[in-house]
Amino acid sequence: MVRLVRSHKSMHQVATQFRVSVSVVARWVERAAGHRLDSVDFSDRSPGCVRAWNRVPTSVEQRIAELRKTLREESILGEYGATAIQIALQAEMHSPAPSIATINRALSRQGLQDAARHIRRAAPPKGWYLPAVAAGEAELDSFDLIEELKIANGPLIWVLNGTSLHGGLVDSWPLEQATAKLVLERVLKRWQRDGLPAYAQFDNGTQFQGAHQFADAVGRVSRLCLALGVIPVFAPPREPGFQNAIEGFNGLWQAKVWQRRKFEDIAEIEAASTRYVRAHRARSSARRERAPKRRAMPQNFSLNLNAKLKGTMIFLRRTDEHGRAHLLGQTFEICARWVHRLVRCEVDFTQQRIRCYALRRREPADQPLLHELPYQRKHKPFYGAL
C-alpha cells in the first residue's frame, strides 16, 4: 500500500484496491514516512505506550525478586510475602515503597508467586447422603412449610409444599393452621394418589418430627411413614444444601403464585396454587418417567398411632466438640475423633439399634460406619388426638 501511494496513486484508489478504509492506508503511510520500506517496522502493535507510564522501574522489580529470595532463606519469621517485601523495600528507599498490590503484580510477572489456589470441586450428587437415592435407585419426597404469609385485611396462612427429588413431582396446600394432623392428611393424600417413595425428608419442625421436649418422642407424621415402610429423614439444623430441592420449590411457589396477585381469602390461593401445581406437573412429566418407581399404596390402609414402632428413622446431624449428636431428645456418643462433622444416624426400631455413618461432601461415596449402639425404646401410647 505504501509503495503504491509513493508511486503517485491516491489513498482512495489504494484503499479500494485492498478493500480497506482510507484511514488504514493513511496509518501505514504515516508510519513509513521518511524511511525506506525495508527499514520500516510493519508489525501490528497495540496503541499507546510500550510500557505503562506508572509501572515500577525494572530495577525495582529486580530488587523485589531479590528481596523475596533473601527473606525466604534468611527471615527469622519465615515471611517473604508482599507485606514483608514492602517493609524491607521501605527501609532501603527514600521515596515511598510500592503498594502491596504492585508488589504482587511484579511477583506475578516474574512467576514468583506460590501456586496455591482454591480448588473447585464438583458438587456431590443429589441425595448424596443416602446411597440408594444418590445412585438413582430410590425416590425421596421432601416436605416443608412456608410460615405465616399475610393476606391483606385477612388472616395469616401457612403453605405445605412437597416435591420429589428425582421426578420433580410437586404439591402445594395452603393451610389456615399448621398442625401435624393437617400435615399428615395432605401427605397421606399425596401418597394415595401418586404412590410411596422410599424416603420422606423433613426439617426438624414439631409438625413433622414431634415434640422436642420429651425423650424418644415420635410424631404422627413419622409414625405414618414407619407404618407405610417409608423411611423418614430429618435434615440437620442450620445446614445448607440438604433442603435445596424443597427450598427451591418454596421460592418458586412464592414468586409464581403468591407474589403475582393480591388474594382476598384462602380459597383464591388454593385455586391459584392448584392451577400452578397442575401446570408444573404437566411440564415435568418427562422427568418423572426417568425417576425411580414409586410403590403402590396398601389397600384399605388404616393408621394406628398406638402401634409399636417398626422400621428405620434417619437423622442427619453434625457432631459437637466431643463427637456427640443430639436426636430423639437425647445426646448420643458417636465418635470422639469425628468432631464437628456430619453423620447419618439410622435408628432401627425393629432391631433396637442406632448405626452412625460418617458423611463428607468431598467424598460422598465414602460413608464408613463410625459406631453402632443399642437403643432401648419403651413402647408407650401416643399422646395426642387420634
Is 60 exceeded by the pLDDT of residue 215?
yes
Residue 116 — pLDDT band, cuts 50, 70, 90? low
What pLDDT shows up at residue 384? 64
Provide DSSP, 117-183: -PPPPPPPPTTTTSHHHHTTSS-EEEEEEEEEEEPTTS-EEEEEEEEETTT---EEEEESS--HHHH
Is 60 exceeded by the pLDDT of residue 386?
no
Mean pLDDT of 283-307: 92
Is 80 exceeded by the pLDDT of residue 295?
yes
Lowest mean pLDDT among 51-55, 107-111, 167-171, 372-376: 51-55
Residues listed for the chain: 386
Comparing 153 with 204, the larger pLDDT belongs to 204
What's the whole-number average pLDDT of the chain?
A: 91
Backbone phi, then psi, for 55, in 5-degree steps?
A: -75, 140
How far from each other are the two terminal CA atoms of the chain, in whole angstroms? 96
Distance CA 84, CA 66 (A): 13
The x, y and z cell numbers of residue 82, run together, are 508482599
Distance CA 89, CA 64 (A): 8
Mean pLDDT of 306-329: 94
> Tens of pLDDT along 2-43?
889 888 899 999 999 888 899 989 988 888 888 888 888 777
Comparing 294 with 213, the larger pLDDT belongs to 294
Lowest mean pLDDT among 8-12, 188-192, 377-381: 377-381
What pLDDT shows up at residue 304? 92
Comparing 197 with 383, the larger pLDDT belongs to 197
Share of the chain above pLDDT 90, in %: 69
Mean pLDDT of 259-272: 92
What pLDDT shows up at residue 83? 94
Residue 128 — pLDDT band, cuts 50, 70, 90? very high
Lowest mean pLDDT among 23-32, 82-91, 107-116, 278-287: 107-116
Is 90 exceeded by the pLDDT of residue 117?
no
What pLDDT shows up at residue 55? 80
Which residues in 237-266 are b (16+ Cβ under 10 Å) and which e?
Answer: eeeeebbebbbebbebbeeebbeeeebeeb
Share of the chain above pLDDT 70, in %: 96
Distance CA 158, CA 161 (A): 10
The closest of 9, 27, 113, 20 to 64, measured between CA atoms, is: 113
Residues 6+ apart with CB under 8 A from 277: 170, 171, 172
Is 80 exceeded by the pLDDT of residue 50?
no
